[in-house]
Structure formats: C-alpha cells, structure tokens
Structure 1
Amino acid sequence: MSLRVAVAAPFVQHGTLRLEESEFVVALSLDRDWFSPDQTKRLIDVATREGLLEHDDGDLVATFSPADMTIPEEFVPDEELLRERSAFERVLEALVADGVEKHEAVGAINSLQQDLGVTIEAAAVVYARREGLEVAELVAVARGAIADEE
C-alpha cells in the first residue's frame, strides 16, 4: 500500500492535521509497531520530499487530508516505502489512486515516451495532466530528468 496511507495513520489516530514529530514517531514505531524510530524518521524525510508533509515550528503538518484516507485494519506498510521513488513511480501511484488501471497507465505512458521522445518521467507527467490529475510538484523532477539525459 501507499506511502500516503502510512503517513496518514498518525494524523487519523490523533484526529488532526498537525503533530509534533515525536508524536508521529511514537504513533508509527511504538503504537503501531510498523517501523523503528529511525525508520520512521526516514519515512518523514521521504514524505517531506514527496510533498506529503511539511515542517512548521517543529511540528509535522499533513499537506493532504488524512481524514479522507482509509487505513485498512490489516494494513502493514512495507519497508520499500522508505526508499526514494522516481517521479514515474510517484505519478503512477497517483494515477492508480485516482482510479486509472495500472497496466493501462503504464502502457499509455510508454507510448507517450516513444511518441514524444522524452524520459519516462516527462511522459508520466504529460499523461497525468491529460487525465486531469494535478502533478505540479513533479514537473520540476521530470524537467530535471530531461536535463540529466542531455
């Protein structure tokens, strides 16, 4: 399951959009036993870079509505969430969360990549925009991927 669900859990648990970092760490490491405290801090770093969390006066603030998330009873996040994901992976997750079938999105993105002669990240952003999904935070990442290939 997604990074967004794991990040949402402490906010849902406390019924808020803002938590002290220590409360967030306790919620995921001690209360839920999903990660160690160090892994939870890594999760905070990943979620911050991906725009799901912001730091404000020592607190963590969710940039999305955690209350809109469903955290399944049996949900246990994979440690894979702790690694940086490419813009392609992030756009694909957003598309799937928006109801697009994963295999359809991958096929369409691959076709766009070939047709436009751009990176997979750029093609993913173009496809997401065509599908009406706002991915503005990933445009700079896609541009950077284009620059890296030149």
Structure 2
Amino acid sequence: MTLQITVAAPFKHTRKMGMRKNELVYYYALDRKWMSTDQAAVLLRRAEEAGLIRQENGVFSVLFDPSTVTVPIGFRPASAVFETNDPAQELIGRIVKARGVPETDVVAEMNGIVREQFDGNLLPPAALVLLAKKYQVPYEDLRDALLAALRK
C-alpha cells in the first residue's frame, strides 16, 4: 500500500495523469526529499513492475485513479518501497515454517526434485509448488506471481 501512496503522491499533488521521468525524480528527490535520485529511479522501475504506472513516449502515466488514494499528512515512504517481493523465497519461507527445518533443507529438496525427478527440466518455482502441495502449505495466493516468475 505504501508503494501505491508513494506513486500517487506526485500525480495527486500536481493534478496530472502523466509526468516525465525528470519531473517524478525531481518530486521525490528534491522537492519532497524522500529519497536520492537513484532511489527514485528504482522506485519508478518497481512501480512499473507492480503495474502501477506505465511509460509511453517518455511519459509515465498512472494506471489507477490517484484521487482515490489518501496521502497522509507528513507521509514519508518506508524503505519497503524499494524491495521486490520474491514469491519463490516467500514460498520457501512458508515451507520452512510449516516443516520446522532449515531453509537449506527445503532448497536441497527442491533441487533434488528438479534434478532427480525431472532431469533438470523443471524450474525451481514449479518444484516449490510441488513441495508446497506435498507438505500441504498454502501457495494459492502466490500462484500468479510464481507464474510471472516462470515466464521471465
């Protein structure tokens, strides 16, 4: 949610639906002093990956209505806006928690499935889904993100 608020802020403040990269970087880094210029560039990439903005002909357009987002007074984005969520790593964590074993054991078992049962013809996220099913660990909420990771 913080990512959406951070993305919405400049569009809401300027009442524009499209802004150039330099305008957005200026807003985040110099006007609001929320982050460095490099971090602002990372933020824009991350927002594109999350499907919040789109770049076309050098102009970033917001893909949601920024007027529906409330930017709290004194808002400052948390460092989490720069972190990417790795669905495979999250699923590994869930399996670790469910089984009570070290992460290395889960990764080793995943690699064993890939090598021994599929002769290396299975990608790790798919092997993790097989492990999740085996140990009855819920993974359905990560299905879309895992599929996207497989397509990359």
2:141 maps to 1:124: yes
State the SS of the aligned residue for 1:117.
helix
Using the aligned pairs only, state the percent identity: 26
State the SS of the aligned residue for 1:64.
coil
State the SS of the aligned residue for 1:72.
coil
The question of whether the paired residues in 2 share the 8 Å contact of 1:21 and 1:58 is answered with yes
**TM-score where L is the length of structure 2:** 0.62
Task: Please list, as runs of the form range in 1=range in 2, the aligned pairs for 1:1-150 lying within 5 A after superposition.
Answer: 2-87=2-87, 117=133, 122-124=139-141, 139=144, 141-144=145-148
Separation (CA, whole Å) in 1 of partners of 2:8 and 2:14: 10
Q: Give unmatched runs, 5+ long, in structure 2.
A: 89-97, 99-128
Amino acid at match of 1:35: M
Q: RMSD between aligned alpha carbons? A: 3.3
Deviation sequence 1:60-97 (CA, Å, 0-9, x none): 11111111110001211112211212359xxxxxxxxx
Separation (CA, whole Å) in 2 of partners of 1:121 and 1:87: 13
The question of whether the paired residues in 2 share the 8 Å contact of 1:46 and 1:82 is answered with yes
Deviation sequence 1:96-121 (CA, Å, 0-9, x none): xxxxxxxxxxxxxx9xx9xx828978
Q: CA deviation at 1:145?
A: 5.8
Q: CA deviation at 1:123?
A: 1.3
The question of whether the paired residues in 2 share the 8 Å contact of 1:122 and 1:146 is answered with no
**TM-score where L is the length of structure 1:** 0.62
Separation (CA, whole Å) in 1 of partners of 2:142 and 2:42: 26
**1:101 — aligned with what?**
none
The question of whether the paired residues in 2 share the 8 Å contact of 1:52 and 1:64 is answered with yes
Count of paired positions: 112
Q: Radius of gyration: which is bigger?
A: 2
Separation (CA, whole Å) in 1 of partners of 2:21 and 2:148: 31
